[in-house]
Amino acid sequence: MKLGKNNLDEQQELKLLRIESRGCWLAFWGLLLTLIVESVVIKDLRVISGEWILFMGLALYLGISCMRAGIWDRRLDMSRKTCLLTSLVAALCAAIFLFVFSYVRYQNLVVSLASAAIMGAFCFGLGYPGMRLAARATKKRQDELNAEPEDED
């Protein structure tokens, strides 16, 4: 069996890329949902460490690959407002998750609220500067890719 030859035409190749893309995002969001549910239900978190490593590896690969290609997003721009809103949403999601996680485990409302507030502030404090740095790196890469090549004549 020879693996070198591609038997697909351009239209089939584009369809296959779309299928693979949807499968990748389905796996990404499905794995995240699975991790969230398992974190709340399972007492020993070491059981899900393999899934966590896989999820973080996939997230890093997608993020770094998109930045290297100069791609930010299909619909969102690289503005400060976008970075602020996405960081706030991420911080809110993390705070809600930690509140549910700690309340289910320890049944203490005050401690759960305090830990959720600290987690939210921590996620926003890291998320916003991280998003701004990623946006700056992506913009720099876009400029490099769009620059006119110099003639060597």
- Tens of pLDDT, residue by residue over 62-84, are 999 999 999 988 888 889 999 99
The residue segments making up the domain with residue 111 are 75-144
So what's the pLDDT on residue 3?
66
So what's the pLDDT on residue 60?
93
Average pLDDT, the chain: 90
Report which DSSP code applies to 70.
T
So what's the pLDDT on residue 98?
93
Terminal Cα distance for the chain, rounded: 47
Q: Are residues 101 and 137 in the same domain?
A: yes
Q: pLDDT band at residue 43, thresholds of 50, 70 and 90?
A: confident
**Amino acid letter, residue 39:** S
Q: Which residues contact 117 (CB under 8 A, 6 or more apart)?
A: 95
pLDDT, tens digit, 9 for 90 and up, residues 113-150 = 999 999 999 999 999 999 999 999 999 999 998 887 76
- Structural domain includes residue 31: yes
| Residue that finishes a domain, picked among 25, 52, 69 | 69
Split into its structural domains, the chain has a count of 2
